[in-house]
Amino acid sequence: MDHSEVQFEALKMALQRTWQDGPGALPQFWYVGAPSGLGKSHLLRAVREAEHRQVAVTLPGMLPALTGALHEPLSAGRQAALVPVWRAARPDLNWPALAGAPRDVPESEVLDALTGTLCRAAQAQGGWMLIVDEAERATPDDLRVLQACWRAVCLHGAPVLVIAAGQDPQPDWLRDIHLTASLTLGAAVHVRSLAPLDGPGMQAFVRASLGPADAQYPDWLLGRSGGHPLWAAQLTGHLRAGGALRPETGVWTFTPPPLDTLPGSLEALLRSRWTALRTGDAGDDVLDLLALAQAPVPLADLQAMTHLDQDALRRLIARLQGQGAVHAALASGTVTLSLTHPSLGEVGRQALLPGQEARLLGLLITRSADPHLRARYARQAAHPDAGALTSAALEAARLVQAPALIAEHAGALLAMGAGSGHDTLLKDLGLAQARLGAHRDAAQTLAQLGGQDPEVTEAHVNALMNLGEYQAGLDLLDGWPAPLRAALEVRRARLYLHLGRMDDVLPILDALLTLPEVNLTQVHLARAHHALLAHDAPRLAQEAGQALQHARNDTERADALNYAALAQSWLGEFDAAQAAYAQCLTLLRSTGREASMQAVYGNLANLHLTASRYRDAQEAQATCLTLARAGGTPLIEMNATGALGMTLVMLGDERGLPNVQAWQAHYQAHVPAGAPYVTLHAANAHALFGHHEQAAAYLDLFEESSVTSMGYGPLTLAQVYLMLGRTGDARRVLQTAPAYTGDPVGELQRPLVEAQVLAVTGAYEEAERVLHQHRAHPQMTRFPSIQAEYDWLLLTTGLRTGKSEQHLRTLGARVLAFLQASGGQGFLRLTDQLFPEDASTRHAYLRAQDDAPTTPFLRTLGHFDLEENGVFRPWKGRKVREMLALLLCALVDGERPGVSRETLTATLWPDAGEGPAEANFRKTLARLRDALGGAAVIEHGPAGYTLSGLRSDLLLFLQASENQDLSAACAWYGGPFLPSIDLPDVNAVRGALRERWRAAALHLVQESPGPQGMEHLARLLRDDPLDVQALTLLAELDWPADNEAWRRLCLTLAQHHERELGAPAPELSRVLSRLAVPRVRST
């Protein structure tokens, strides 16, 4: 997310150019932050001038403004249940009559209908502007609607340009906006601060506000106003009123006034301007009404309130517009008026006498169609009907499910001391505070309610859980008579889990299954969490499956899939787990839970680690880290940091230790409950690299019992004890480890540690017996890293028991094959720590090359990073990435192997002048050459800048394609070309390379319709589930019906087709009929 300070004219041109670039350049989100008076509102008006495809909102009031702008398509929609919501949001508009009684509509349904209509309008009209002003006044309801709009725009790729302006230079809510954009290819977020006007900027300002003027005036105005647009505008109006600025023969002449006659401050200037605007007649009421109004006022309402005839009112408005005091706008076919700046309104309100204010507020009450404005005006005026109007506004807020408005009006009624319905108002206020995330306020409000209302108690307990006050939540539930309602029992079970009372929770979880009214999904999710904490993989899989079966919505489905994927990864079902994670991430994004995606990416990274897919693990961890930083979640950010460190440790790279140290320190300071387990991993990592003192110091930070009951804790602790020479402690701890029945990782790791203990004590033959006995485990091939650890220890014991040279070389070759496939050398260090005396002899059997650094390798297909010595380095600078991308595109295009300096600078820095662009080019080129290392050389010749000596998957893919080695081409095609880059040249090459891969894969499927062909077909359909040729092959080829991988692929495709098409394509339907699979509904 870029952030810089810019001049008014430059920013206006950038925004206009973005819009003029058309739908292909969208969606984009621009936020303009600047203090009051620097021209934000003027900028927004200038950008949207004469553009009808837009909705402009001055906050608060996002929902009513959008509802009004989309009135016609919403009225024509078929969702009759939403009509009362639209009518409550905009009672001044005509809506269809409702047949039947209204029903409660979930907020998600309201937002889906509204944002879906916005996206369809944008796509139908070739673009749409959403302009949001005064963002500093946004309520939580406004921000929720704005975020929902941006999420929908990104999900659907709708051509929408969102421009928001506010006084905060970097508001917290931008994190969510950036988080959504980071998950959408092509979406961009720009943050700009408006700078005070400079010389050219002031000249443009004078031309725009006056026209031709005295040449000395812009410089004089700049010196007097300091480049502050509001000051400059008001000072210009003051000088016009005083005669210092006069129009003569089409040019404004300027006579500088004595400085002591000018107001000395902006506030004094505004007061002077306000006084000069007033004429002592009925027209003053217009100014005062606009000062008091909290939203633009319709012209017809002003006429009704002031009793001015139409011509007189229009002349008055024309005068005020000419004096720069009033702005007119057209919204939903209605002309509305407002003061040009809020500061002018503040001065006007301060000048009003109490009697005048009450009279004018009374007029606004009678004319405003917005129930919330009427209530606010009434409360401000202490009007006799304030209570009744606030109650009506509260009812309207309930109908549109706006918690911020509910909290506002319920709180106001409580402050008024409303006699009746006190408890109902407290409940409204507390539940609204809970929905707004104000958990402390919600807990305090709900605690005031007596009685036993299940909804109140559930919300109160949830608030306490979010505050981490688990015991207080249990105490609250203990005040209820037994038996508790099912929903409250679920909460009790969750509280027990948070408090670590694993034995107490089991009877509750068992009893819940027998209750008829219980939400079975939530019960099974709680049971799944218990299984997770107990590290019981089979039970976790069973409970997750039950939760998925009973899930009622996408939110519950996503939670169940997350647990299911974790269980499948523990059980070694890596492909199924990866597919479940993919579905989970899709559901989380579609339901607006981007923040939860961070943890899922962390789980996905752990899956790849267990499967020894270290490259994929690093990619998932990097995504998790990016999302956590964007979303401001330090715990998940630190977990991703630690996981990246542990991945480097597994790769045998000591550079991972600082990450692990930071991870441990964060948990020690902020998450004491989880600190022992993380500290154990830190001790293990340091012991692997021979830092025994540091490892021992880490072990001293926690009680041994705090980790021996957690998952694989006893196994890891035993290995650390072995590396520290504490063999007796290792044997003792190992005896406390469970059998891990049903958990293949535990079933394989426990005997490995047992064999390590035996080998360290010299019982080599017994160690070999244990290893050979368990190496035949049916799940062993699913875990290549564990298999390699077995072989590495067998190689060690074989050296000491005199095994044959051939036997030792076979073991070494198997370990080497794993190292070459994964790069995971970390486990070698454990054996080297335990048996250092024959390390060099042992390593000789790997027949590895010397330790000289390997030549860097550039990954461009499915990834965009540089691999060096098993470590993957992402490109840090955006311009560095884009320059390399342009050079790679030229390499693919044989007709133009080079790129000229002019093309590179024009593409990468289109807005910079010649000098800055040249400087940027030189700096970026130097950084790129340095970063590439030996992966490629950048040369300059007649054809421009070219890449030579490239070591990359791209070159290998192109060579295999040209040589018609289709299997190799498909193997090298890891995914879309340069997935993180959005440039026209890159997009074109990306499409061309994908088509090459697709043609090769289709040919291989037809040529070899066996397991290998099926894998190519599965890749094609994962890439594009609607690919007609691939679907035809799926239907025509004779796959065995009992092939589980094929069956799973067909079911996944069926769900996708149901979601996208409403029914499976004909080709897929034929396949499903062969499988006798019922139609799968995707909800």
What element of type H or E holds 664? helix 657-670
Is the preceding peptide bond at 1009 cis, omega within 30 degrees of 0? no
Tens of pLDDT, residue by residue over 985-1038, are 888 899 999 999 899 888 888 876 665 567 778 888 888 888 888 888 888 776
Residue 365 has pLDDT above 90, yes or no: yes
Q: What pLDDT does residue 853 have?
A: 45
Tens of pLDDT, residue by residue over 438-457, are 788 889 999 998 777 888 99
**What is the distance of C-alpha 12 from the center of its chain?**
28
Q: Are 872 and 615 in contact (CB under 8 A)?
A: yes
H helices then E strands: how many in the chain?
55, 16
What is the rounded CA–CA span in Å between residue 278 and residue 316? 11
Q: What pLDDT does residue 373 have?
A: 92
| Half-sphere exposure for 20 (CA within 13 Å, toward CB) | 7
Pairing relationship of beta strands 128-133 and 160-166 according to DSSP bridges: parallel
CATH code linked to domain 745-841:
1.25.40
Residue 851 has pLDDT above 50, yes or no: no
Q: What pLDDT does residue 1081 have?
A: 43
What element of type H or E holds 407? helix 403-415
Q: Looking at the structure, give the CATH architecture of the domain made up of residues 2-195.
A: 3-Layer(aba) Sandwich (3.40)
Give the SS3 label for residue 107: helix
Neighbours of 249 (CB within 10 A): 6
Tens of pLDDT, residue by residue over 876-934, are 788 888 999 999 988 887 666 688 888 889 889 888 888 888 888 888 888 888 888 77
What is the rounded CA–CA span in Å between residue 365 and residue 378? 7
Q: Are 301 and 374 in contact (CB under 8 A)?
A: no
DSSP 213: B
DSSP 689: T
Residue spans of beta strands (DSSP E) within 123-206: 128-133, 160-166, 188-194
CATH code linked to domain 281-369:
1.10.10.10
Q: Are 731 and 712 in contact (CB under 8 A)?
A: no
- Count how many residues are written for the chain: 1083
**What is the distance of C-alpha 574 from the center of its chain?**
25
What is the rounded CA–CA span in Å between residue 369 and residue 36? 29
Which one, of 582, 579, 557, 577, lies nearest residue 565 by Cα?
577
Q: Are 847 and 881 in contact (CB under 8 A)?
A: no
Over the chain, what is the mean pLDDT? Answer: 83
Burial label, 691 (beta-carbon count in 10 A; 0-12, 13-18, 19+):
middle
Find the helix packing angle between 713-723 and 727-736, rounded to 10°: 170
Which one, of 565, 555, 560, 558, lies nearest residue 543 by Cα?
560
Tens of pLDDT, residue by residue over 677-720, are 899 999 999 999 889 999 999 999 888 888 887 778 899 999 99
Is the preceding peptide bond at 784 cis, omega within 30 degrees of 0? no
Q: What pLDDT does residue 973 have?
A: 85
Which one, of 382, 385, 412, lies nearest residue 397 by Cα?
412
Give the SS3 label for residue 326: strand
Q: Are 831 and 923 in contact (CB under 8 A)?
A: no
DSSP 853: P
Phi and psi based region of residue 978 (left: phi greater than 0; alpha: psi -120 to 50; beta: remaining): left
**What is the distance of C-alpha 203 from the center of its chain?**
42
pTM of model > 0.95: no
Fold of 849-983: Arc Repressor Mutant, subunit A (1.10.10)
